[in-house]
Structures are given as C-alpha cells and as structure tokens.
Structure 1
C-alpha cells in the first residue's frame, strides 16, 4: 500500500500496474479477461456472511471480564478479530468479484487495497497462531515463563508484535490481486505476459514457509507433551475429550498448512485450476473454522453464546470450576481452570 500512498491513490501510476496499457476502460477488462462465476460467488458470499454471524457472538463472549483476564482469551480475541476481517476479503469481497467476473483492472483501487489488507490479515493471523501455541507450551511446561511474559498487560504488549507484523505486509510488500479467471488472489495483476516473477512477494513466501511450518512443528511438540501428561494422570473421559480436541486442532493446522504451501507454489509455478481452488478454500477455512469450533466444541464459549441468546441448554453451574477446552488455529488447545 506504500506504493499507492506515494502515488496519491492513482494505481495506474504504479510501475507495472497501469491497466490502461491494454484496455481503456475497466468494463473492457471485465468483458475481455474476466470469467463470471455466479454460483461460486454466491457460495463464497454466503459462507462469509455465515462465518461473520457466528464469529461476532463468540468475540462478545471472549470480551467478558472473566474470560478476557486470561492471556489465552486475549490472544484468541485478537485472532478472532483478524479472522473476521480476513473473511471480509477472502469470502465476501471474493464472492462479489466472482459474481461479476472481475479481474484486477476491473476495480484496481478497490482490489489493490483489499488485497493488501487481506495479505496483512493472513500474515498477522499466522504470527498470532505462533504466539498462541507458544503461550500454551509455556503454560503447560514452563508456567513461570507464562507469568513473566503473558501476565496482565504484558500480553497486550506482546500482541503488538503480530499487529506490527501484519501492518508491515499490508503497507510495505506487494498486495494480493484478484482474478476471476483463476478464482483466486495472486501477486501478478495479469496485465502483461511473462512478468509474473516481477510481482513476487518474497516476505510472504518466507512467512508461509517459516511461520506456518514453525507453528505446526511447535504444535506437534505441544500435543506430544500434553499426551505424555495425560497418559500419566487423566481419567478415561478426559482422555476422550482431549483426543477430540487434538483431532480438531490437527485438522485446522493441516488446513492452514495446505493453504500456505499452495499459495506459495502457485505464485511461482503453473498449477491445475482445482489446486488453486483448494488453496483458496483452505485460506477461507483457516479463518472460518474456529468460529464453528468455538460454538460447537468449546464449552465456555458455547455456554456464553447460549446465555446471550437465552438458550436454556447453555446454562452452566456458576459454582463449579469451569474447565475450558480452547481450540482455535494451530496450537490453540488448552485446559484452563477459571476460578
């Protein structure tokens, strides 16, 4: 977005982004280069709206005083907020553009800004996931370090790292740009032929290779440590519960891993259309799955949402100590005793 600011908001003044070099009007770009995909567009749009409607009450519950005081809920809230914003780009905006059959030059300013923000949200979420699994590993294995780095307002200070990280990608690296022809977002605006490598975003490649892989590796270590503790001291009912949480978290981790790897690969090499679609769906699921997990598999959030909507089945005994099973992105599985 730095390029856009420097050029005073005129995208056609940015080197290699001048849409007028090929067609004179955005309508011609849509007609000549775009491929309307109304069915896929409405599916994306509907998915985005559903996730947003599910996520908002979850975030409301996370903000409750008894929850937000815990460092994990602070991290989860930021992750949820970023997910919500990312869904606005990769599902809602994408759906509208697919219905029209738009390409980058159909709406260059809008797509440039949306792509820059979407990239920032993705990279910020990756860093938040890494912090979240680190928080859980320290909480289980090195509790004194959790108090040192995540107690009180220190969590808020730590969370400035992923915020600044996401802003860096949004403002100082090339943005993702949409094309209905391939039903996804690329760094190449597809204005000129044989110039794909000139548009590459190498910091994004580094993010996907390092942050996502590191998160999955750390998450694997975390699960191994948890499993070792469970074998020693938990009851069979708890083992079953934590096995389910492990499977849920593993699925989310794999979704993010697939999205990260496909998006790196398809920026450099030609791939089949169905692989591109899988990559984009993985990106959508990576930001959307936690909303379903929070509502259907997380006791604390499900009960809180039930109370918000006065659903009788969501009542919890306030006198009992609540065991909170938290699953979000890779590595967000934890057991908390809320006193």
Structure 2
C-alpha cells in the first residue's frame, strides 16, 4: 500500500487518505507501521540477550529469561509497546521528494513549520537507544567469544555459530536503519542518501527471510517442502533371514 504514491510520483494531495491526514484519518491508518518498527527493534534486543545467555558462560544466569512460557512474556511486552506507541505521536505523511515517510512531508511552503509540527523526539530517542544497546551487547558477545576461544581453546558447534551469525546480521541491519533515519531527520543531506536510507530500512525487514533460508537448515527444508522441491527419500527395507538349527 505504501508503494502506490511512489509508483505514481504523487504527493499528499494525490492520495490524501492514503498519505494520512492527521486530522481526518487519525493514527489508526498509519501509525501501526511505526508500532511494528518499535516491536521489531525490541525483538532484536531480546535476540541479542538470548545469544549472550546461550553463548557466554558468565551470563548463563540469564537463561531463565527465555525458558518455558517466559518467551510469551517477551512477546506480550513487544506487542503492548507496539500498541501504546501508536497513540503517543503524530503520524508521518508521505514525502514525495525523497520517496519516504519523514517528519517534513513537504505539503506546504513552510518547511520549518512542518518539521516543528510533525517531528517527534520519541522515535529518534528510541532509534539511538536501540543502536547503542545492540552495539554494546554484540560487542560484549564478540569479545567474550574471542576471549573464551583464546583462553580455553574451546570451539562452538556449527549450530551455535549459525545462530550467532543470523542474530548478528539481523540486528546489524536494524541498528544501521535506525541510525540512518535519525540522521536524515535532523541533517540536510542529498536526496540520494535519503532514498538509500529508505532502502536500508526496507532491507532491515526483508533480509531476515534470506538470512534464515541461507543459514538455517531447518527453515530451508520447510521452504523446500512448501514449494514442492523437497528431496524424496526412498524407504529402506531390511530383510533378515533367520536359520534355526535343530539337533
């Protein structure tokens, strides 16, 4: 739905309801997108904590946070924050100049007023916090893994390494997208950089599927079954002959 204005090279007045008029449409038609972004970033933080708890012996005490039904608590927290977030900020309007949803939608001649009216500090604060937290957690994890391999000559199995790479790639793209969006909100940059930021934001969501398919054998097998490309295994029948000797 959000790609329609881009395909038509349109602006706010071409699709006022789709672009979201904050006075007419309200937050329910647009702000779920921001809520989903908040939930996705919080999931990345939880994923980083999970990797630390599983791979760093000194942090094994954190494993209880992800055991049993506690996983549903993490999911509930993310969903609750996603819902609350939709009602504490103004909606963003589509900016046709840079093909993205930014604080200044360029629908009037007063850019300063637009920026002041639509800009919310909640999103930049959240994005910066997520980038800092993810950077700290993964720096701690990488240093801990390197120290363990040097001091004890221990090695991690293939499954642990794959899970670590999956989490690292997913969280890295999310952190980069978060920082880029903060920069373009407050710094005057070339149009090409803003469009690249929008592409990175889309990549931070779309790359997850490719990461799982490339690095997760179980997911790859299930995908093959879904599209009918799974290898058919022939059943192996073993026949045993028993000879009984009678005296």
TM-score by length of 1: 0.58
Residues 37-58 of structure 1, C-alpha deviation per residue, up to 9 Å, x if partnerless? Answer: xxxxxxxxxxxxxxxxxxxxxx
1:294 and 2:212 correspond: yes
Flag the structure with higher helix content.
1
Determine the structure 1 residue equivalent to 2:77. Answer: 161
1:178 and 2:94 correspond: yes
Q: How does 1:1-339 map to 2 (within 5 A)?
A: 93-112=1-20, 113=28, 115-141=30-56, 142-147=59-64, 149-192=65-108, 193=110, 194-195=112-113, 196-231=115-150, 232-234=153-155, 238=158, 242=161, 250-313=168-231
Displacement of 1:213 in angstroms is: 2.1
Contact 2:130 2:175 in 1 (8 A): no
Contact 1:302 1:314 in 2 (8 A): no
For residues 182 and 293 of structure 1, the distance between their equivalents in structure 2, rounded to whole angstroms, comes to 28
Residues 64-105 of structure 1, C-alpha deviation per residue, up to 9 Å, x if partnerless? Answer: xxxxxxxxxxxxxxxxxxxxxxxxxxxxx3322211122233
Contact 1:303 1:314 in 2 (8 A): no
For residues 137 and 245 of structure 1, the distance between their equivalents in structure 2, rounded to whole angstroms, comes to 11
Displacement of 1:197 in angstroms is: 2.2
Displacement of 1:215 in angstroms is: 1.4
- Structure 1: gaps spanning 5 or more residues: 1-92, 316-339
Displacement of 1:238 in angstroms is: 4.3
Larger Rg: 2
Contact 1:137 1:222 in 2 (8 A): yes
For residues 199 and 102 of structure 1, the distance between their equivalents in structure 2, rounded to whole angstroms, comes to 20
Determine the structure 2 residue equivalent to 1:326. Answer: none
For residues 307 and 287 of structure 1, the distance between their equivalents in structure 2, rounded to whole angstroms, comes to 24
Displacement of 1:313 in angstroms is: 4.5
For residues 39 and 229 of structure 2, the distance between their equivalents in structure 1, rounded to whole angstroms, comes to 34
For residues 192 and 129 of structure 2, the distance between their equivalents in structure 1, rounded to whole angstroms, comes to 25
Aligned to 1:178, the other structure's residue is in SS state strand
CA RMSD of aligned residues (A): 2.7
- Structure 2: gaps spanning 5 or more residues: 21-27, 234-247
TM-score by length of 2: 0.77
Contact 1:216 1:253 in 2 (8 A): no
Determine the structure 2 residue equivalent to 1:68. Answer: none
Residues 229-279 of structure 1, C-alpha deviation per residue, up to 9 Å, x if partnerless? Answer: 4552227x849x93x776665544443233212211222232101110111
1:124 and 1:223, CA in 2 relative to 1: closer, same or farther beyond 3 A? same
For residues 143 and 305 of structure 1, the distance between their equivalents in structure 2, rounded to whole angstroms, comes to 33
**Deviation larger for 260-269 or 287-296:** 260-269
Contact 1:188 1:199 in 2 (8 A): yes
For residues 262 and 256 of structure 1, the distance between their equivalents in structure 2, rounded to whole angstroms, comes to 10
